[in-house]
Amino acid sequence: PDVGFGKNGLRAAEKYLTNYNLKLSNKTIINMGEVDATSQVLILKKENPDYIILHGCCTGLLSFYKAAKRYGLRSNVLGSFYVSDEDNIKVIGDGMKDALVTSSVGYWDDNAPGMAELRKITKKYDPETKWMTRSYMQGWLISMLCAEGLKRAGRNLNPETLVEAYETFKNFSTGGISGPVSYSKDNHKGGTTNKLYKLDIENQTFIPITEYREPAFKD
């Protein structure tokens, strides 16, 4: 998309592909509210690429997949965070069956101690719960980090002491809900790890094919 989120993704792709002696054969803009990505898909189909790096979200992402299925664009898709949302599967189905996606946050059925604890607590307060989307895990993770920051800040709590508390995080473990979290005075990013996932259409989710890992090349 033609916004900061999309432009940053494009710059990163162009930069890091050079580490593999590769470059983009073409690129196209699919904005967040795009309802018809026909022209963009036809541009990509003309290239017949082996891989498409899909860095988008919202309606534009769904429009891409619908047009790709309609016009027979069958390239492998490498999808960033918003491509790996389970709600996409409900809309697109087997149209995204060959996608490999990244996620910095795990899924409900992941085999990790933190996720097992999450499921246990969730079912304690809502025994009827069978499954929750990744957005739930993302909210849980944010709450976990917030609670730890508040605890470390102590009773003398204000914006400055809370930031200072976060800056003491060094490889803070979330039990596998995400990779380790670290902050410092010079870096408030939190982490750089992701898992790679493949699609499980039958169960309407993604299943991991790697553990959390750092990118091969990073700043």
Q: At 154, is the secondary structure helix, strand, or coil?
A: coil
Q: At 86, is the secondary structure helix, strand, or coil?
A: helix
Reported as type and span, the H/E element at residue 196 is strand 195-200
- Angle, CA 209 vertex, CA 88 and CA 93 arms, to 5°: 25
Which pLDDT does position 219 carry in this prediction?
Answer: 67
- pLDDT one digit per residue (tens) for the chain, 219 residues: 999 999 999 999 999 999 999 999 999 999 999 999 999 999 999 999 999 999 998 899 999 999 999 999 989 999 999 999 998 998 888 888 889 999 999 999 999 999 999 999 999 999 999 999 999 999 999 999 999 999 999 999 999 999 999 999 999 999 999 999 999 999 999 999 999 999 998 888 999 999 999 988 876
pLDDT more than 90, % of the chain: 86
Tens digits of residue pLDDT in 34-83: 999 999 999 999 999 999 999 998 899 999 999 999 999 989 999 999 99
Beta bridge partners of 68: none
Tokens representing residue 213 in the block: 């890992």
Supply the pTM of this predicted model: 0.86
CB 42 within 8 A of CB 17: no
CA-to-CA distance for 34 and 212, rounded, in angstroms?
A: 32
Which pLDDT does position 77 carry in this prediction?
Answer: 94
